Structure 1
């Protein structure tokens, strides 16, 4: 697939002042066409020209993503402070920067030890989610471009912090721990074979058993790094536990499952159901909640599910 060799980059995040010297592409009818070569500076005239053609995203080669990720993280404060970028565009920049970080970690799991990067991104994400009523809408733009950049992890982290902001009075450090655990909740997937992850049809029993190991493997990997809090590690390890005790890896039941892990399960399920993926088409939010409600008492705590549903519908408050 050609899309695996190109990654989307929001036009708003390309600053003519300090964007790195890399090639930029536009997409037309599924083809990636060179817009500017690496040796030409991107200019304000370029920005205006692309805006006139309603171009929201440019594309870069996957091999240039290290330079793009470094650029975005180093200049995130400046980009988010600009007056000429609206809040939706800022959200797209922020979500994309976080997704690039997750992609980086999935490519090189050893980078999870660099928790300073993750903590900085979560602080920005927390501030944005708490300060914008439609904070999750900006995710749709970047998610629709390419699921390959692991936007699911960013969706779960953003929704987790929104739910905690609306329902619970956590201090800043606790919220950051929740965000970090949510952003890295599926990091154990990197230890599964690519064939298993990309398989288009249902998994056989032995394959499903291997896939279920990702929660424990992710927990063990992050625990060995020694940089994450117990709250973060708990989310990674127990986000597949079920209220009736039928989940994994520990088979915890009821309120023996830590609240943060129960909420992670709700956010993980909802985000997966409402996003286009290779194996299914996205469901409307109301339909996803209806299906999830059938699992109340089984997969989900009745109390937490209905409070979660109110937040998603825009009615939940602390």
Structure 2
């Protein structure tokens, strides 16, 4: 995962006068061109100039991303209450920060032991999705620019928290556990080779068997860290179970599958289908729901799918 030399950063995350002193780049025809060096501050004039040219993203060297992530996480409280930042930009900042966190733990898996960082992000995410009807809109900005696996994790976490907020009366701590498990649901992929994850062709039977192991391996690593609750671990382990028992890793069937894992499967599938990703182009939400509806009774719980469909279609209060 260390071979990403440049990483995208939403312009909304770069506050004039506050952003760390690191070099920023613009992307032009596939080339990365220095916009400002590390010894020059990013100014309001810079921000206005970039907005005037409809620039949505700048780029930083991967080696500088730790500094950016620390800055965003440390300043998230103040950034999300500033009156000069609109709601959509705040969502972009929050989602970008969460995506940076996922990138960070994929690069250094042992950082998952520091669960305080993840819980803090989920508290902010819970507050944001419960207070904004269009809470998922800001995700569209980062999913097209960041590596799919990281933004997909954030997208699933946001949708999971939105669905739970609309449908169930969970306690604050239960909601945080749902968010943490959702954000880390694909963590086990870190144990697969990059060649396998990036393979452009269809996977062989042996390769697919290896990929299927990511749920159990992710669960075992996170369980051994001893910092995640049972709800979070259940989502990581069982989000690929199917209602008819044909899923993995345990072949659970029907209500044997915990509700949180059943909903994670719905959110995971929906987000994957409606977002551009390697080897697949995004499809409209209505088409995704139609296709998923054909899997009701086999992949998905009929009643949960019906309620899930109402949430993503905007038919719930």
| TM-score in same-fold range (> 0.5) | yes
What's the CA shift for 1:146? Answer: 2.6
The list of structure 1 runs, each at least 4 consecutive aligned residues, that deviate by more than 6 angstroms after superposition, is none
What's the CA shift for 1:148? Answer: 4.7
What's the CA shift for 1:4? Answer: 3.2
Q: Which runs of 5+ in 2 are unaligned?
A: none
Q: Which runs of 5+ in 1 are unaligned?
A: none
Distance 1:178 1:150 in 2: 17
2:8 aligned partner: 8
Determine helix, strand or coil for the equivalent of 1:137. Answer: coil
**Aligned 1:247-262 pairs, distance under 5 A:** 247-262=247-262
2:285 aligned partner: 285
Distance 1:217 1:141, change over 3 A: same
2:59 aligned partner: 59
Contact conserved, 2:76 with 2:94, CA < 8 A, in 1? Answer: yes
Contact conserved, 1:244 with 1:297, CA < 8 A, in 2? Answer: yes
Determine helix, strand or coil for the equivalent of 2:138. Answer: helix
Distance 2:253 2:113 in 1: 31
Q: TM-score, with normalisation over the residues of structure 2?
A: 0.97
Distance 2:283 2:132 in 1: 24
What's the CA shift for 1:39? Answer: 1.0
2:196 aligned partner: 196
Determine helix, strand or coil for the equivalent of 2:116. Answer: helix
Distance 1:194 1:52 in 2: 38
Contact conserved, 2:23 with 2:37, CA < 8 A, in 1? Answer: yes
Determine helix, strand or coil for the equivalent of 2:4. Answer: helix
**Aligned 1:100-115 pairs, distance under 5 A:** 100-115=100-115
2:225 aligned partner: 225
Determine helix, strand or coil for the equivalent of 2:32. Answer: strand
Q: TM-score, with normalisation over the residues of structure 1?
A: 0.97
CA RMSD of aligned residues (A): 1.1
Contact conserved, 1:274 with 1:282, CA < 8 A, in 2? Answer: yes
Encode CA deviations 1:127-158: one digit per residue, 9 max, x unaligned: 00000000000000011113356100000000
